[in-house]
Amino acid sequence: MPTSDPRQYLPVLQKSLWFNSLPTVASQRLLSEATVQHLGAGQQLFLRGDSFDGIYCVIEGGLRLTGIAPDGQENLFSVISPPTWFGEIAFFDGLPRTHDAQAVGPTVLLHVSPARLGGLVSEDPQWAFRLAVLMAQKTRLLFFALEAVARLDTQAKLARAIVMTLTQGWTAVPDLAGSSSPLNQGSLAETLGMTRQTVAAGLKVLQDQGIVKLGYRRVTVTDWPRLCDMAEIDAEYPPNSLHNENPS
């Protein structure tokens, strides 16, 4: 049942490594400034070029981040799923949104407006550093993506895309009891710049090896260590290295 109280979503939020690294007082303060927002399937959250309107966290559902190329073609940049916080880049540089964000289905978000975010920073300058840590996580994800494009073969790229989706670029703790990714073959093809046929063949290889199980618009991981090994990522990366403030 829909709720307007952000605290009701703590079980989801605590899977976010960034949110979980905040001191208890800080995380509670953040939730006190957040509001719950609901989007219908296909509803636009913001468009590339829009002014900064705060930061968000996906609680339920998901968002497609896309951009329009000069030839008019839509390019899928990422699919954001719970419990991902995003939108912090524009907080630092004051520039417009970099991508279009559209709900892929019924979606629930937490929203902290620019005014409330500014109030947090004025009240406690440490919030600027906390938001910088969040942005640094996205930079780390970008490096992983660039490495995949430059060096990895098809199977490794597919494996890494699945790992990065399930962990949202290692900003969230994956559910290893049957981890399932909402990425379908079309979305994977778009994000990786491959044909659907290449992606379908690659996923079938992973399924034949017992690493994933394919379903309707879903990819379920059945062997997490082997998937990470194929993606050339440490299966335990990076909880122990994440900045963690002393809880208070």
Residue 34 has pLDDT above 90, yes or no: yes
Determine the pLDDT at residue 222.
87
Cβ atoms of 45 and 39 closer than 8 Å: yes
Q: List Cβ neighbours of 60 (8 Å cut-off, separation of 6 or more).
A: 12, 82, 106, 107, 108
Determine the pLDDT at residue 132.
95
Is 116 or 231 the better-scoring residue by pLDDT?
A: 116
Is 193 or 175 the better-scoring residue by pLDDT?
A: 193
pLDDT digits (tens, 9 = 90+) for 178-219: 555 556 677 777 777 788 888 889 989 999 999 988 877 677
Determine the pLDDT at residue 247.
43
Stretch 4-11: mean pLDDT: 93
Q: Which two tokens stand for residue 206?
A: 């992973």
Q: What is the pTM of this model?
A: 0.76
Q: What is the dihedral of CA 204, 209, 210, 215, to 10 degrees?
A: 0
pLDDT digits (tens, 9 = 90+) for 12-25: 999 898 999 999 99
* Percent of residues, the chain, with pLDDT higher than 90: 44
d(CA 10, CA 47): 28
d(CA 145, CA 33): 33
pLDDT digits (tens, 9 = 90+) for 130-155: 999 999 888 877 777 777 767 888 88
pLDDT digits (tens, 9 = 90+) for 84-98: 999 999 999 989 998
d(CA 199, CA 192): 9
Put the strands of the sheet holding 100-103 in their side by side order: 44-46, 100-103, 63-68, 74-80
Determine the pLDDT at residue 142.
76
With cut-offs at 50, 70 and 90, classify the pLDDT of residue 240. very low
Residue 243 has pLDDT above 90, yes or no: no
Stretch 53-79: mean pLDDT: 84
pLDDT digits (tens, 9 = 90+) for 96-137: 998 899 998 899 999 999 999 999 999 999 999 999 999 988
> Mean pLDDT across the chain, nearest whole number?
84
Say whether the peptide bond before residue 83 is cis (omega within 30 degrees of 0).
yes
The strand pairing partners of 172, in sequence order, are 16
Cβ atoms of 21 and 243 closer than 8 Å: yes
